[in-house]
Amino acid sequence: MNQILKTENLSKDYLINKRKFNVLKNIDISIEAGDFISVMGPSGSGKSTLLYNVSGMDKMSSGEVIFQGEKLSKLNEKKLSNLRLKKMGFVFQQINLLNSLGIIDNIIFPAHMEGSKDRNKIKERAVELMEKTGIKELAENEITQASGGQLQRAAICRALINEPEILFADEPTGALNSQSAKEVMDVFHTINKEGTTVMIVTHDIRVASHSSRVLFMKDGNIVGEKVLGELKDLEAELKDRESKLSSWLLDLGF
């Protein structure tokens, strides 16, 4: 496997009322192409901050993030934006689709922003992604004509429209019911098996059990890592993986 992303002594500080808070403390991680990484930890542990820093959405205080051999600290904002647009996809708990656009237009919007693709091919890819995620019949619907789970799958299609190298997700199932969450994680499992690298922040053991590796954070540090390996049989293996994760977290004292 080829390394796609790594950090070296990554730190992030915030100054609040003249007090400095160390949110990330000298983090060293390495992500290989095709990995499925989950980051777990209590609220305030720094897991979302880690995701925002490794994706270039937030600026690190010190250290380095290296994406496909390129140091993010050396890129200006325009180059960072282009990198995120072309090589990274993002899915959040808050779906953030544009109410002024229909579902398929929301999905293809990043591809139009990227600007190098033929309009017909963009539409074809959008339809292909919607079919893969089970929402093809909603192509002409408005945002108000879909459920939360369907909209989250549309957001995943939007994140994948430019064929990113890595997909970042921050609590993507946090606002969904259990059935919708299961459907969304089935989609993540499928796209990872097809080769997209995934890094997901979650508090949910059921979500993390889909991962090949789970990192656990506390107080800005990575305090443990559990290697689960490739998930080959979605239905047969999940319960066993959930049990292993639960035992591991108990051993860590959580």
Tens of pLDDT along 93-116? 888 899 999 999 999 999 988 776
Q: In the structure, what pLDDT confidence band is assigned to residue 17 with cuts at 50, 70 and 90?
A: confident
Mean pLDDT on 133-140 = 92
Query: Is the Cβ–Cβ distance between 1 and 32 less than 8 Å?
Result: yes
- Token readout for 57 is 């959405």
Report how far apart the first and last C-alpha atoms of the chain are (Å, whole number): 32
Collapsing DSSP to helix, strand or coil, 62 comes out as strand
Proportion of the chain in helix, strand, coil states, percent, rounded to 5: 40, 25, 30
The reported pLDDT for the residue numbered 1 is 62
At the topology level of CATH, where does 3-252 sit? Answer: Rossmann fold (3.40.50)
The reported pLDDT for the residue numbered 94 is 87
Task: Give this prediction's pTM.
Answer: 0.94
The reported pLDDT for the residue numbered 116 is 67
Mean pLDDT on 221-236 = 91
The reported pLDDT for the residue numbered 129 is 94
